[in-house]
């Protein structure tokens, strides 16, 4: 019965290609993982953040790979291991034979674990994957930031698959602030960050400036400079970033994470588009 739930969920995606099918399977696995964590006390300690959070709870159009979490309060002694056993048991109930590799280091600020599975494709019906070559393994990275910037806000979100469960998530202005920190401080250009920027500015342009200021002071080029980010400062910094973007290269990072019917929208990416969206910031 549990395997049938996974099959029905996959069928509901109406995938049109192998890559869409692979992305859908990973997303379904992410949802089961969240529900399993919701059965532990994990969300008393941590909140869900990042692109996968946007995708599952707020309607972001693109798929996402990793699952990012952030503690409510700093705690470098936090251990992922105490919550991972519940994942193995829950995922096994749905046809997975999951292997979890906890890569966390005792002195590491970001705790990491990898979920891997190569069995699900053998128990559900796939229309594209494995037809022209071996099935790809499902691999999902979990990260927990144990030293959260101050000023973040959270809310309670409800997940209704594979069963009703509650998940603590960052609210949208805090999520946007985290994304902006990545846009300004990431050492390389990630097209998915800019895709998310368009999504935010089109729907939820409010920024949690307290959280952004704290994050800037914690990590990146403005570390320990006590920057008090505001609309004027942020607009100036993002404008400089936009003016320096290689849009052809930026688009390439996004293509495999969106569905076929949206690919043509990437042809519209330009300085003019992003500067226009920048003006919507609040």
Q: In this structure, what are the phi and psi dihedrals at residue 35, rounded to the nearest 5 degrees?
A: -60, -40
Average pLDDT over residues 241-251: 92
Give the other-Cβ count within 10 Å of 268's Cβ.
Answer: 11
Residue where one domain finishes, among candidates 141, 170, 199 = 170
Average pLDDT over residues 108-137: 80
Whether residues 54 and 165 share a domain: the answer is yes
pLDDT at 233: 97
Which range among 32-41, 91-100, 108-117, 232-241 shows the weakest confidence by mean pLDDT?
91-100
Percent of the chain with pLDDT strictly greater than 70 = 96
Whether residues 165 and 242 share a domain: the answer is no
Structure tokens at 125: 């019906």
**In the chain, how many domains are there?**
2
Whether residues 26 and 77 share a domain: the answer is yes
Whether residues 118 and 254 share a domain: the answer is no
pLDDT value at 260 more than 90: no
Percent of the chain with pLDDT strictly greater than 90 = 66
Summarised one tens digit per residue, pLDDT across range 1-17 is 588 888 999 999 999 88
Average pLDDT over residues 47-74: 94
d(C-alpha 254, C-alpha 191), whole Å: 6
Summarised one tens digit per residue, pLDDT across range 132-159 is 666 678 889 999 999 999 999 999 999 9
Average pLDDT, the chain: 91
pLDDT at 127: 84
Whether residues 251 and 178 share a domain: the answer is yes
Q: Are the C-beta atoms of 55 and 19 separated by less than 8 Å?
A: no
d(C-alpha 75, C-alpha 69), whole Å: 13
pLDDT value at 107 more than 80: no
Whether residues 42 and 147 share a domain: the answer is yes
Place of tokens 């990491």: 112
Confidence band for 244, pLDDT divided at 50, 70 and 90: very high
pLDDT at 132: 67
* CATH number for the domain that contains residue 17: 3.10.450.620
Whether residues 10 and 81 share a domain: the answer is yes
∠ at Cα 95 (127, 64), nearest 5°? 65
Whether residues 161 and 31 share a domain: the answer is yes
Whether residues 166 and 178 share a domain: the answer is no
Confidence band for 117, pLDDT divided at 50, 70 and 90: confident
pLDDT at 121: 67
pLDDT at 133: 66
Residue where one domain finishes, among candidates 112, 137, 170 = 170
Q: Are the C-beta atoms of 182 and 193 separated by less than 8 Å?
A: yes
Q: Is the backbone peptide bond immediately before 227 cis, with ω within 30 degrees of 0?
A: no
> Among the ranges 34-38, 92-96, 99-103, 214-218, which has the highest mean pLDDT value?
214-218
Domain that includes residue 255, residue range: 171-282
Whether residues 145 and 184 share a domain: the answer is no
Q: pTM to 2 decimals?
A: 0.92
Whether residues 165 and 192 share a domain: the answer is no
Average pLDDT over residues 111-130: 81
Residue where one domain finishes, among candidates 143, 170, 197 = 170
Whether residues 193 and 89 share a domain: the answer is no
* Rg, the chain, Cα only: 19
pLDDT at 128: 76
């Amino acid at each position: 019965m549990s395997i049938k739930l996974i099959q029905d969920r996959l069928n509901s995606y109406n995938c049109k290609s192998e890559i869409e099918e692979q992305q859908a399977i990973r997303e379904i696995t992410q949802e089961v993982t969240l529900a399993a964590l919701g059965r532990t006390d994990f969300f008393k300690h941590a909140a869900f953040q990042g692109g996968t959070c946007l995708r599952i709870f707020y309607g972001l159009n693109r798929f996402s790979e990793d699952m990012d979490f952030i503690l409510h309060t700093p705690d470098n002694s936090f251990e992922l291991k105490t919550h991972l056993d519940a994942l193995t048991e829950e995922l096994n109930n749905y046809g997975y034979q999951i292997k979890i590799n906890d890569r966390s280091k005792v002195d590491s600020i970001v705790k990491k674990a990898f979920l891997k599975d190569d069995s699900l494709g053998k128990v559900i019906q796939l229309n594209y994957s494995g037809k022209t070559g071996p099935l790809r393994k499902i691999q999902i990275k979990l990260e927990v930031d144990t030293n959260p910037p101050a000023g973040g806000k959270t809310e309670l979100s409800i997940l209704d698959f594979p069963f009703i469960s509650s998940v603590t998530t960052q609210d949208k202005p805090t999520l946007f602030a985290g994304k902006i920190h990545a846009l300004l401080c990431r050492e390389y250009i990630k097209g998915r960050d800019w895709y998310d920027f368009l999504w935010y500015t089109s729907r939820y342009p409010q920024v949690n400036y307290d959280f952004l200021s704290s994050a800037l002071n914690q990590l990146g080029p403005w570390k320990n400079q006590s920057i008090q980010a505001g609309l004027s400062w942020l607009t100036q910094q993002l404008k400089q970033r936009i003016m320096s973007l290689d849009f052809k290269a930026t688009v390439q990072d996004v293509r495999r994470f969106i569905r076929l019917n949206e690919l043509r929208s990437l042809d519209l990416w330009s300085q003019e588009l992003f500067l226009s969206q920048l003006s919507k910031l609040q």
